[in-house]
């Protein structure tokens, strides 16, 4: 179970609005029935349009990804055989990638299903539900809008988290997620259709679909508000109050998580949602979910299982990445717990697992550590997840904490980056953001490759036509420096208002904190100043600029 930290309260599971106990899917047994083959299927890889949308086929074509036998739907004749077994089994959904059927039935009926020649094996995914004690809802606080700063006033409390990863500059450059499709997997989305800041999604017909994989059907404005919080970090768009990181994207809202129990059936829901997203032509999956421990008698995972090959959700995320979707998943909030490590599906290869930092780029105390049990660096990247701003079902803004929030914040920026670089594959998007992030040269298992930045990554791909200096630098309140990463050429400091018009002391410190450059600059009214540097060795540096008692820093990478 992934923990979320909200409003200063650390809570296991999810809090906020929840479904009535009768809706807990753990009260009926569900089993994943694996089939032996797809022999005799009426579907063919030569005619993918029979089971994939045109958009899904186009996504594969752009990235050079072939439609494979694993993409073929489960043989309908096999499904009919299962439905015909005595005991009235209910087929909840099927899985193309696992060649499996999720069935709801009792143990005796499952025994008869397992005896069918078409069945390879069956696994029970849940046995009974446990209704958790109520958890306090997130603390509501008014948005801290500073009307003296034009950019800050536009974004409201979401300003800092967008600024940190270059999303404000991305928006200034015209990339707000237009034409990109994002699927959000979570525990519920109450109020999303009523929140004023979310109304542009509906008025502009950018809600592509809704699916409830827990209760069935398409009703998603119910259950738990965690999904509301997460999707707002991407999609909200109310200037002067709150702007998310991809406010012009198109969305699919999927409920996969049942907060009243914790069993592997929720991972199967994740699998079904991923296959649905694939068939619908989704570009980006944002999932603030994770799995380590389950309610008894379902066996829990061990750290050894976090190897990218074991957990149902991990295998599903890997398949999703292989068909060309960009999967962005929260790393987990177990960093200060005995578990300590990332959760599934964050251990999946080829996805973007997201750790959490504060507004200054320091690791959040709860953010889960890597590596995976087979030694791969995790998380992949990090974004603001400590005191991040999100919206509640009533439309109010509050600050909460968790990799749950870092994940959608970064997913929105990644969607905008892909919009700006449409010829890239999903894996190339990850590589571009990773190779230019703040710890690209010294990745670790705390923040991964560090904090990415849209402008840095964009300019690395477009060296002959970089974004304008004002888009690539900080705003009027934050010290900036470009180009970043830098090469042999000169650096330019972009001064915030608080440092302009005063004599300045500049120091450059290496990764160990040793001063490698020190320089005095005269007072000037100019906002941009050249910084003369000797040739620096490759690595990460911090530039510190002081004027009187004011001091600001900015990190950069020397390539």
Catalytic residues: 186, 226, 404
Q: Which residues contact 4 (CB under 8 A, 6 or more apart)?
A: 11, 13, 14, 15, 226, 333, 400, 401, 402, 404
Query: In this structure, are residues 263 and 130 in contact, taking their beta carbons and an 8 Å threshold?
Result: no
Query: In this structure, are residues 379 and 410 in contact, taking their beta carbons and an 8 Å threshold?
Result: no
Q: Angle 405-410-415 (CA atoms, 0-180°, nearest 5)? A: 130
Quickly list DSSP for 461-519. H-TTSPPPHHHHS--TTS-EEESSSB-SS-EEEE--GGGTTS-EEEEEE-TTS-EEEEE
Of the candidates 440, 329, 463, 449, the residue with the CA atom closest to the CA atom of residue 381: 449
DSSP 8-state class, residue 468: P
Helix ranges restricted to H, 281-402: 312-322
Helix ranges restricted to H, 210-310: 226-235, 265-280
What is the C-alpha to C-alpha distance for residues 18 and 110, in angstroms, rounded to an integer? 31
Query: In this structure, are residues 491 and 536 in contact, taking their beta carbons and an 8 Å threshold?
Result: no
Of the candidates 393, 395, 386, the residue with the CA atom closest to the CA atom of residue 5: 386
């Amino acid at each position: 179970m992934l923990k979320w930290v909200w409003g200063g309260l650390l809570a296991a599971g999810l809090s906020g609005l929840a479904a009535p106990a009768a809706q807990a899917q753990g009260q009926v047994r569900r089993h994943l029935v694996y089939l032996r083959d797809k022999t005799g299927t009426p579907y063919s890889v030569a005619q993918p349009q029979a089971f994939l949308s045109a958009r899904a086929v186009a996504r594969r074509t752009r990235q050079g990804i072939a439609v494979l036998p694993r993409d073929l739907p489960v043989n309908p004749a096999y499904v009919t055989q299962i439905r015909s077994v005595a005991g009235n089994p209910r087929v909840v959904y099927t899985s193309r990638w696992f060649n499996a059927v999720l069935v709801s039935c009792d143990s005796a009926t499952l025994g008869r299903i397992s005896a069918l020649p078409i069945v390879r094996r069956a696994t029970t995914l849940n046995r009974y539900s446990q209704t958790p004690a109520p958890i306090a809802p997130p603390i509501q606080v008014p948005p801290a809008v500073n009307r003296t700063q034009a950019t800050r006033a536009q974004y409201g409390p979401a300003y800092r988290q967008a600024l940190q990863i270059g999303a404000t500059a991305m928006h200034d450059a015209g990339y707000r997620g237009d034409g990109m499709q994002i699927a959000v997997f979570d525990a519920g989305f109450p109020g999303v259709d009523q929140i004023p800041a979310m109304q542009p999604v509906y008025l502009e017909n950018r809600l592509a679909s809704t699916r409830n994989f827990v209760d069935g059907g398409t009703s998603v404005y119910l259950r738990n508000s965690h999904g509301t919080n997460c999707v707002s970090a991407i999609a909200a768009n109310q200037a002067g109050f709150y702007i998310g990181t991809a406010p012009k994207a198109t969305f699919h809202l999927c409920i996969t998580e049942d907060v009243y129990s914790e069993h592997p059936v929720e991972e199967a829901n994740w699998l079904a949602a991923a296959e649905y997203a694939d068939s619908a032509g989704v570009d980006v999956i944002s999932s603030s979910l994770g799995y380590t421990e389950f309610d008894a008698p379902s066996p829990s995972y061990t750290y050894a299982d976090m190897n990218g090959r074991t957990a149902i959700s991990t295998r599903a995320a890997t398949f999703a990445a292989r068909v060309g979707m960009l999967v962005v998943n929260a790393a987990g909030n177990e960093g200060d717990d005995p578990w300590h490590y990332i959760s599934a599906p964050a251990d999946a290869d080829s996805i973007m697992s997201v750790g959490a930092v504060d507004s200054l780029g320091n690791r959040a105390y709860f953010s889960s550590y890597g590596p995976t049990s087979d030694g791969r660096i995790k998380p992949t990247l990090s974004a603001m997840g400590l005191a991040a701003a999100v919206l509640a079902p009533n439309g109010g803004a509050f600050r909460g904490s968790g990799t749950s929030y870092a994940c959608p914040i970064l997913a929105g920026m990644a969607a905008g980056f892909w919009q700006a670089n449409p010829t890239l594959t999903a894996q190339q998007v990850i590589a571009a953001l990773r190779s230019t992030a703040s710890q690209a040269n010294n990745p670790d298992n705390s923040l991964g490759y560090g904090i990415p930045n849209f402008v840095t990554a964009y300019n690395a791909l477009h060296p002959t036509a970089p974004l304008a200096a004002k888009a690539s630098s900080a705003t009027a309140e934050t010290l900036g420096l470009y180009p970043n990463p830098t090469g042999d050429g000169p650096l330019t400091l972009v001064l915030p208002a608080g440092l302009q018009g005063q004599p300045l002391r500049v120091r450059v410190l290496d990764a160990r904190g040793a001063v490698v450059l020190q320089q005095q600059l005269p007072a000037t009214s100019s906002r941009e100043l050249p910084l003369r540097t000797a040739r620096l060795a490759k690595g990460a540096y911090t530039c510190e600029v002081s004027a009187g008692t004011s001091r600001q820093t900015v990190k950069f990478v020397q390539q």
